[in-house]
Amino acid sequence: MSAFTRRSFLGAAGAAAIGLAAGPAARADTGTPVRVPVTREDHRAIVIGSGFGGGVASLRLAQAGVPVLLLERGMRWPTGPNAQTFPSASNPDKRILWYRSAKRLFGEQLDLEPYTGLLEAVSGDNMTALCAAGVGGGSLVYQGMSLQPAEDVFHTQFPAELDWATMNRVHYPRVANMLQLAVAPDQLIDSPNYLAARVFAERARAAGLPVSKIPMPIDWNYALDELAGKMIPSYTNGAGALGVNNGGKHSVDVTYIAAAEATGRVEVRALHHVTDIERAADGRWTLHVDRIDTTGAVLENLILTTNALIMAAGSLNTTKLLVRAAAKGQIPDMPDGLGGNWGTNADRIYVWTDMRESLGSPQGGPVVYGSLNWSDPAAAATVIQASIPPLSLDPHSTVLVGYGVSSSRGRFDYVSGADDAVLRWPGDGDAAIQDSRIGPLVQAIAGPGSTLTDTNALVPSTWHPLGGAAMGSVCDLDGRVLGQRGLYVLDGALIPGNCAACNPSMTIAAVAERALDNLVTQDVGSLI
């Protein structure tokens, strides 16, 4: 394989994990001021962001009778059989990048025209963190692994007061029901397209490791219909790495947000980018919002006011907005812990190559099996196999993804010269769990004679940024920002840096469900 071909393959297989590094930003503005209309509005409750936290908050407040304005900077991404909505990791175009993101993708410099695309990379010291833009947030692009932490592992990362027993009985099952979780049927797994999943399971069992099917928010009948030739492949050839075109994926936009809109009390405004927040003299919250087109050009400025502001823009953008507002005096007296307790969930992505054995091409996905190594709570780690995007050759390769418990933490600091909050991550962050558990587990599964390419060693990155406005140091367990009446955080920023050897989606949603149970009882009618 030539150097260029191998580099391109590694980029596609890592699904942007090694390529969205620091580089020139794509911006729609030309520096020439343009006069646009200014609109002022007042709303009872405003939610910023439409991922798991924003979806839960909007639905549960609406069901409690509260009218909600939900602001989302990105677009809607509608899906359905044979749709071509999402970009391809193998052949990226402008749809892949948020117009203010870095332009270096898959190890290549891409000269893309500005567009309100799916992914934004936030580059800082020793780390590039990725987040999504679009109605549905991170659920649009996540693979869908929906894992609930075991109780003893949960308590290594979360306060005991969070009450795992109640969440296990009430909130995790509620999320599972909303997302319609299901494991892949054997009929699908036994097909030629899922050879890599079967080899992974065989190798893991041979190494003495546990293997289980991973619950996914997917109607697997769509994948079976693809095999039957009823749809263009999207699941069964790995093409869904950056969104599943055919539908059947129960992402937040088609579950929580659709249900919220159906109440008649939630207004979703896409392509509304919040640029600043501040606390007014009367204690209410003021938002400065740009209504933009798909190039990022500003069409209208909005100044919105509310008594109740719920931050759900994701760990990166919620934290950046709050750190910037605090540093500039727009929100005085923020907790000292703001910006801290930030972590990567100890993400690790490998390309596993074994030239002695075919792993299949094309490879069905997104995810079927995982190895949950949780017997030691202090060293719990998970490894799953994920499909590679469609390629024109058989690379004898597939993707392994690991994450585990970790105490490594970084922070966001305000830099006045850039007028931005900048990520600081220690150079040896997550090394303990990587060296002692994740790395050895991956080696054991791959076995002797295989080659493992650690994409994080090439460019440290995470698809699961967590913390920045974490419970305990910045917020209470229900997301109320300490000392800030009517300000809430209900997204990944609330999670203290690590999700207990699980990908974070289930826990972010379950924590938000728990919080909304309390907020509806205690705050609606007074603060909200």
Three-state secondary structure of 475-491: ECCCCEECCCCCEEECC
Residue 224 in any domain: the answer is yes
Predicted TM-score (pTM) above 0.85 = yes
Phi, psi (deg, nearest 5) at residue 446: -65, -40
Residue 115: pLDDT band (50, 70, 90) is: very high
pLDDT at residue 25, as a whole number:
40
Residue 11: inside a domain? no
Helix axes 172-179, 505-522, angle to 10 degrees: 110
Contact 307, 284 (CB under 8 A): yes
pLDDT at 15 over 90: no
Dihedral angle over CA of 341, 69, 100, 343, nearest 10:
10
Residue 165 banded pLDDT, cuts 50, 70, 90? very high
| Enclosing domain of residue 208 | 38-523
For residue 328, is pLDDT > 50? yes
Examine residue 366 and say whether the peptide bond preceding it is cis (omega within 30 degrees of 0).
yes
pLDDT value, residue 90: 83
Q: At what angle do helices 52-63 and 505-522 cross, to 10 degrees?
A: 30
Residue 489 in domain: yes
Q: What confidence tier does 19 reach under pLDDT thresholds 50, 70, 90? A: very low
pLDDT of 490 > 50? The answer is yes
pLDDT tens-digit readout, 208-230: 999 999 999 999 999 999 999 99
What are residue 386's DSSP bridge partners?
A: 367, 399
State what percent of residues in the chain have pLDDT above 70. 92
How far apart CA 291 and CA 183 sit, in angstroms, is 40
pLDDT in tens, 365-419: 999 999 999 999 999 999 999 999 888 788 899 999 999 999 999 999 999 999 9
Q: Is residue 433 pLDDT above 50, yes or no?
A: yes
What is the pLDDT at residue 152? 97
By mean pLDDT, which of 18-32, 52-66, 314-328 is the weakest? 18-32
Over residues 466-483, the pLDDT tens digits come to: 999 999 999 999 999 999
Q: Is the pLDDT of residue 56 over 90?
A: yes
Asked whether residue 7 carries a pLDDT value surpassing 70, the answer given is: no
Instruction: State the average pLDDT over residues 292-314.
Output: 98
In order of 16, 75, 149, 315, 463, the CA distances from 501 in angstroms are 22, 31, 7, 18, 14
What pLDDT, on the 0 to 100 scale, is given for residue 394? 85
- Domain assignment present for residue 31? The answer is no
| Residue with the two structure tokens 């997301």 | 479
What band does 32 get if pLDDT is binned at 50, 70 and 90? low
Number of domains into which the chain is organized: 1
Residue-wise pLDDT tens digits, 120-155: 999 999 999 999 999 999 999 999 999 999 999 999
pLDDT tens, residue by residue, 184-208: 999 999 999 999 999 999 999 999 9
Residue 107 resides in a domain: yes
Question: Which two tokens mark 274?
Answer: 């919040």
Q: Considering the domain boundaries, does residue 410 fall inside one?
A: yes
User: What is residue 107's predicted lDDT score, i.e. its pLDDT?
Assistant: 57
Q: Residue 223 is which amino acid? A: A
CB 135 within 8 A of CB 72: yes
What is the β-pairing status of strands 68-71 and 266-269?
A: parallel
Q: Long-range contacts for 317-320 (Cβ within 8 Å, ≥24 apart)?
A: 317/49, 317/131, 318/48, 318/49, 318/468, 318/469, 318/489, 318/491, 318/492, 318/493, 319/412, 319/421, 319/467, 319/468, 319/469, 319/493, 320/122, 320/412, 320/420, 320/421
Torsion of CA 229, 234, 236, 241, to 10 degrees: 180
Residue 480 in any domain: the answer is yes
d(CA 460, CA 75): 28
Q: What is the mean pLDDT of the chain?
A: 92
> Token match 């979780």: residue?
181
Cβ contacts of residue 213 below 8 Å, gap of 6+? 183, 184, 368, 369
Pairwise CA distance, residues 427 & 444, whole Å: 26
Higher pLDDT, 8 or 18: 8
Asked whether the predicted pLDDT for residue 14 surpasses 90, the reply is no
Residue 167: the pLDDT is 98
321, 311 Cβ separation under 8 angstroms: yes
pLDDT value at residue 391: 84
DSSP 274: E
CATH number at residue 298: 3.50.50.60
Residue 13 placed within a domain: no
Residues 425-441 have a mean pLDDT of 97
Considering only CA atoms, which of 239, 461, 430 is closest in space to residue 349? 461
Q: What is the pLDDT of residue 241?
A: 87
pLDDT band at 485 (very low <50, low <70, confident <90, very high): very high
pLDDT band at 16 (very low <50, low <70, confident <90, very high): very low
Nearest to 489 by CA among 374, 382, 341: 341
Task: Give the pLDDT score at 33.
Answer: 67
| The pLDDT of residue 91 | 84
